[in-house]
A and B are shown apart, each in its own frame.
Chain A
Amino acid sequence: MITLTALRAFDVPIQTPCITPENFTGKSLAEIKVLPVTEGVRNLTLGDLFKIEETNDGTSNITINGDCAKVKRVGQGMKTGEITVNGNIGMHTGEKMAGGKIIVNGNAGGWTGSEMKKGTIEIHGDAGDYTASPYRGNDLGMKGGLITVDGNVGTDVGCYNQGGVIKIKGNAGRFLGFHMSDGAIYVEKDVDVRAGALMTGGKIVVGGKMEILPSFTIDNVKPKVKVDSETNVAGPFYVFLGDLSEKGTGKIFANKAANPAFKFYEKYL
């Protein structure tokens, strides 16, 4: 196991796409220390920014200690192994991830799990805007895998989701699940406006307050809903179908108790 400890407080963005378990496998400590990273416009090595130690446990798992909110692209494209971050982590963590696990004991930045295909990301704090969403302008959403967030998430979470599962214990910002075509998003608390805009498939489950777009239509009321094989949520829930402006068949499950205003829709059932 490799342990990276931040040598100082970072105040400009640092790009470290080299921090993945596969990249560290088979490399000596000296080789890992000279892996290239950039801090702002300066080209540096990993050893310039982190104290690097090795514990012989037969794995190439990685532990990162310290406040790394400025450290971007940790675990980019990783396929196996595990990365544990004790502290905050920056943007694009686990981007294009195809396997393995990332645990963040702190907050994560934007675009966490962007274009993810497989694997798990556990965030025990908040996650930023565009979590599990592709880069601006792109339509390559999350294809699979699981992201869990214990805190809140920002705006535009799970955009263009094509099959991934995202579970959020806190609140979510605007445009949750924008343009999603498959997969599931579960938010235990409140969701800001325009959830599911332009969605064509998949489901969004909301345990707290939310607003529904006029381009959704009520379908029925269900006592409970299955998010994935492990999570069943008890309701009852109003089920909305949409987004009709895209001829979509996505479903939004809105908690009946938390959304008394939706009683209005019952007359259309």
Chain B
Amino acid sequence: MTEILIKNGFVVDPLNKINCEKMDIAIKNGKVVAKVNEKNAQVIDAAGLTVMAGGVDIHSHVAGAEVNMGRMIRPEDHYKDPVRKTALTRCGTGYSIPSTFVTGYRYSEMGYTSVFNGSVAALKAKHAHEELNDIPLMDKATYILTGDWWFVLENLAKGDVDECARLVAWLMRATKGYAIKIVNPGGLESWGFGRNVHSIDDPVPNFGITPREIMRGLIKVNKKLNMPHTIHLHTNNLGVPGNYQTTLDTMKAFEDLSTDGKPVAHITHIQFASFKGENWGKFKSGAEEIAKYMNAHNHMTLDMGQVTFSDTTTMTADGPFEFSLYELGGHNKWVNSDVETESSGGIIPFHYKKNSPVNALQWSIGLEIALLIKDPWKIFMTTDHPNGGPFYDYPKVLAWLYSKKAREATLKKCHKSAKKKSLLPSIDRELSLYEIAIMTRAGTAKALGLPDKGHLGVGADADVAIFNINPETLDISQKFRTARKAFANAAYTIKDGTIVVKDGQVVNSQIPGRTFWVDAETKDPCKIDDEMKRKFRDYWTIEFENYPVTDHYVKVSDRLERKASV
């Protein structure tokens, strides 16, 4: 394997407390090393450029059944963004739900090297892995919808956390999953009966358990299994005005579970969970309350779910939420699904418009939370691709974060509600490159429990992004467009010690990337008896034997072994 020496770049590496220092990074055999022989190495002259670790996206819907259903119902979305094949890359389509190969290329062109798939039902895990295999240039993993899986509900209702943990360990192994994903706990099960839960203490029909018990139970399970990531949570009442109260209740419910000061839960796309007001007419921003709580507590991490004003496709396992969105009217299509005994799902194409009072305020809520939370290790940058906007809008989101000028330029074109009903115009904070590196790579890698990602210390994976930004001469907050362009087109992206992108163009598309999955070794195996197999026969459409994702489904498998305490 070739050796690479990145010379004289301004290195931004928050995990090693390096802030824009001029230094060299040496790469050998796909890892960062102390030094290489300059004569044999390929030298990249990074003088005047910013060097960061490869981006790690903590939440993005890039694979699975709902993503593919979104592709199927939106021919007009692909039609406006065809991608031609080149000598190196395959053809495909964008826009809001790009084809798998285009997903890999476009992430890589922005300096991203890892992506974590937001959710997939266990039943659809095979499909998700087949798509993940086809996303080149990226390391990836998928979260598994666990919160409404019947066996979890049954065992938590019984109060048997240990058996539940053993089952979840089996589920992660069976589906090659990375983390416990909970979407609208209890609500998805209720949706099978046309109902929903409206607070964290509403009982779930037929199980006699509440969302609070599900979430707390799974946090305990997560701890017992010693999982790398915390639970990954999409809160109850998402997308409903006034839901910031539910979100606060949820956060408060976990306070006592964090014993070592470390986060116990990650709430994803917080923007959609921070709405204030009794109805859409009185819609207001609840960002201040959420940020205030986050500044006083350390047991949670968040990601933004920023709205970027584009014609996109909303997709979530939260079927009842998509139904209420459809009820608002103005949509010409809606997909609804009930995934047997595990989950639900819904898809609606959605155009976020600047002149809509609600959409404009949603835009400002996402930014408000990100800027009001003082510690960037607690909130990460995402658009909940494609729910708030496609991931290629990340440079835009970054520009809004590091430049007040950029925010004002957009605010001018927005409906006046964004100005009147939020704190955004009064916020002067502008993020530095150091903070941006935390929100896009270092913080996410830390939250995901990936010791070799998100930094450039010796021993780290050789995933590097080099941007054409000179921190000495370029004032990113003033020249936000120049910096935005630099973030959209990485000068170099290095994946596993190979240069894959140069000047925003893919130059090597043959690196497949690895798929991480967690194998938590429990002291006793979970009880797989005739009763469980009978349930599969009675309630699932496939037999127990055909349920697990077999090894050959995962092209480049990276098993993370964990020792469980049960």
Residues of A within 8 A of B (CB): 41, 134-139
On chain B, the residues within 8 Å of A136 by CB distance are: 75-76, 79
Asked whether any CB of chain A lies closer than 8 Å to the CB of B77, the reply is yes
Closest 10 CB pairs of A and B: A138-B76, A137-B76, A137-B75, A139-B332, A136-B75, A135-B76, A135-B79, A137-B74, A136-B76, A137-B73
Q: How large is the interface on B (under 10, 10 to 19, 20 to 34, 35 or more residues)?
A: under 10
Closest residue of A by beta carbon distance from B333: A137
Distance A112 CA – B332 CA, assembled complex (angstroms): 23
On chain B, the residues within 8 Å of A135 by CB distance are: 75-76, 79
Residues of B within 8 A of A (CB): 73-77, 79, 85, 332-333
B536 → chain A closest CB, angstroms: 37
On chain A, the residues within 8 Å of B332 by CB distance are: 139
The binding surface of chain B is classed by DSSP as helix
Distance A135 CA – B77 CA, assembled complex (angstroms): 10
Given contacts A135-B75, A137-B76, 16 further A-B contacts (CB under 8 A): A41-B85, A134-B76, A135-B76, A135-B79, A136-B75, A136-B76, A136-B79, A137-B73, A137-B74, A137-B75, A137-B77, A137-B79, A137-B333, A138-B76, A138-B79, A139-B332
Distance A138 CA – B74 CA, assembled complex (angstroms): 8
B332 → chain A closest CB, angstroms: 5
On chain A, the residues within 8 Å of B74 by CB distance are: 137
Distance A137 CA – B79 CA, assembled complex (angstroms): 10
A15 → chain B closest CB, angstroms: 10
B91 → chain A closest CB, angstroms: 9
Distance A134 CA – B79 CA, assembled complex (angstroms): 11
Closest residue of B by beta carbon distance from A139: B332
Closest residue of A by beta carbon distance from B72: A137
On chain A, the residues within 8 Å of B77 by CB distance are: 137
Distance A138 CA – B73 CA, assembled complex (angstroms): 10
Q: Which of A134, A135, A137, A139 has the most CB of B within 10 A?
A: A137
What are 18 pairs between A and B in contact, CB < 8 Å? A41-B85, A134-B76, A135-B75, A135-B76, A135-B79, A136-B75, A136-B76, A136-B79, A137-B73, A137-B74, A137-B75, A137-B76, A137-B77, A137-B79, A137-B333, A138-B76, A138-B79, A139-B332
On chain B, the residues within 8 Å of A134 by CB distance are: 76
On chain B, the residues within 8 Å of A139 by CB distance are: 332
B326 → chain A closest CB, angstroms: 15
A198 → chain B closest CB, angstroms: 10
B111 → chain A closest CB, angstroms: 29
Closest residue of B by beta carbon distance from A140: B76
Distance A136 CA – B77 CA, assembled complex (angstroms): 10
On chain A, the residues within 8 Å of B79 by CB distance are: 135-138
Distance A137 CA – B73 CA, assembled complex (angstroms): 7
On chain A, the residues within 8 Å of B76 by CB distance are: 134-138
Distance A124 CA – B74 CA, assembled complex (angstroms): 34
Closest residue of A by beta carbon distance from B73: A137
Distance A116 CA – B156 CA, assembled complex (angstroms): 58
Closest residue of A by beta carbon distance from B331: A139
Distance A138 CA – B333 CA, assembled complex (angstroms): 10
Distance A139 CA – B332 CA, assembled complex (angstroms): 7
Distance A82 CA – B110 CA, assembled complex (angstroms): 43
Distance A41 CA – B76 CA, assembled complex (angstroms): 21
B411 → chain A closest CB, angstroms: 28
Closest residue of B by beta carbon distance from A136: B75
On chain A, the residues within 8 Å of B75 by CB distance are: 135-137
On chain B, the residues within 8 Å of A137 by CB distance are: 73-77, 79, 333
Distance A134 CA – B332 CA, assembled complex (angstroms): 13
B62 → chain A closest CB, angstroms: 21
Q: Which of B73, B79, B85, B333 has the most CB of A within 10 A?
A: B79
Closest residue of B by beta carbon distance from A138: B76
B483 → chain A closest CB, angstroms: 31
Closest residue of A by beta carbon distance from B85: A41
Distance A137 CA – B77 CA, assembled complex (angstroms): 8
B290 → chain A closest CB, angstroms: 35
On chain B, the residues within 8 Å of A138 by CB distance are: 76, 79
Distance A136 CA – B333 CA, assembled complex (angstroms): 12
Distance A138 CA – B75 CA, assembled complex (angstroms): 8
Distance A138 CA – B85 CA, assembled complex (angstroms): 25
